[in-house]
A and B are shown apart, each in its own frame.
Chain A
Amino acid sequence: MGIKQEGDVITYEVPDNLVLPKPQDDAPGATPEPPPPQVPVNPMNTVTVNFGPNSQEFQVPAGSTIGAVMNNMYIKEIIGFTGKETVNLNGRPSTQGHVLNPGDQIEFIKEDGRKN
C-alpha cells in the first residue's frame, strides 16, 4: 500500500485484492438483511372418497372441485371408480364443479350387482 503526499493532500493507493471483513448484523451501524421472500403455500384439505365397499381419506389442494377428484388418476386407481358414476357430496347429489371443503364426503355410486 503506497502513501503519497503532495502539499496538504495525502493519497492512499488501495490494492485490487483488498478484502474487507463482512460487517456484523449486531455491529453498531450495521444494516440487517431483509427476510427471505415468502413462497406462497397452497394449503391442503382432507376429503373422504367412497365407492362401493372402498373408502379412504385423501389430501387435495384447497379449491379443488369434485371434477378434479373424479379425474385424479391416483385416487381413481386406489378407490376403483370409473368417473362415469352418479356422484353425491355429503349424502346429496352434486356436480363436478362443486368446490370441496375440508371434511367433505364424496361418493361415486357403484352400480348394483346384476347376478344372484
Chain B
Amino acid sequence: MKFKRVVVVGLGGGGTFLVQPLCRYLAYSAPETQVVLIDGDNFEPKNAERQIFTALGNKADVTAAHLRPQFSQLQIETKPRYVTEDNVYLYIKEGDCVFSCVDNHASRKLLSDHCSTLEDVVLISGGNEFDDGNVRMYIRRQGKDLFPPLTHQHPEIQHPTDRNPAELDCLQLAATGSPQLIFANLKAATEMVCLFWVVCTNDDPTYNEVYFDLKTGAQRPVRRNMGE
C-alpha cells in the first residue's frame, strides 16, 4: 500500500521518536510522500527529559524545522493546531496514513470517528502508561472496515472521560501531566512504525494490534477482525 500523505498528530514523547525513522524510511523508499505534522502545543524546557527538540516553540513547527534539512527529498508541512471537530476534516483526508500520537482518548475518538467517514484510510494509534502500552491499527478500504475502529470494544475510547486539549486552559493542561517513562514512549513509537511498514508491504497484515510490557518483556500481537 502506498500513501500520498502521512499525517502525524501529536509531537510529544511518542511523536518525536516516531518521525525520525518514519521520515528516513519515506525519504529513501517513497520520497514523493507528503508528511504533515500537527500539534497545537509548545515545547517547554520541562519536556526535555522525554522529547526530542532543538528549540522552544510550537511542536509541529520546531520538529519540521529539525527534519527538513535532514530529509530534503520530503515535503514536510505543519499545522500548529490541536485537531478538533472543526478542523479534522481539513487535516485528515482520503488516502492518508494517520499516526495518532496524542495523549488523550477524546482525541483518539475524534480521529477514529472521522476516519470512519472516509473511504480509504489507515489510522495507527499508540498509547502507553508508565511501563506498558499498546498500538492499534484501523484500516478502511473502499468504504469498508478491514480492521475495527479504535472505539470497537474499547469503552474508554467510545466514552472518553478526558477532554481534547483544545478545550483545556493552561492550568488544566498542566494538571493532566503524569509521570512517563521515555522508554515506554520509544517502544510505542517503534511498534507504530513497525505496523506502518507491515501495512506498506502487506495487503493483508497478520496483526493489527500489539501489546507490550517493559517490566516483563512480554509482547503479544493480535489480529482482531471485524465482527469480533
Residues of A within 8 A of B (CB): 50, 52-55, 86, 88, 91-93, 109-116
Contact = CB atoms under 8 A, between A and B. Distances in A.
A112 B155 contact: no
Given A52-B220, A53-B218, A112 B228 contact: no
B125 A112 contact: yes
Interface residues of B, number: 44
Interface of B: 10, 12-15, 100-105, 108, 125-129, 132-134, 136, 150, 153-157, 162, 178, 180, 184-185, 188, 211-213, 216, 218-220, 224-225, 227-228
A113 B153 contact: no
Contacts of A112: 105, 108, 125, 127, 134, 136, 150, 154, 156-157
- Secondary structure at chain B's binding surface: helix, strand, loop or mixed? mixed
Nearest to B154: A112
Contacts of A52: 132, 134, 211, 213, 218, 220
A54 B212 CA distance: 9
B211 A115 contact: no
B65 to A, nearest CB: 22
Contacts of B104: 114
Contacts of A92: 227-228
A111 B211 contact: no
Contacts of B132: 52-53, 113
Contacts of B136: 112
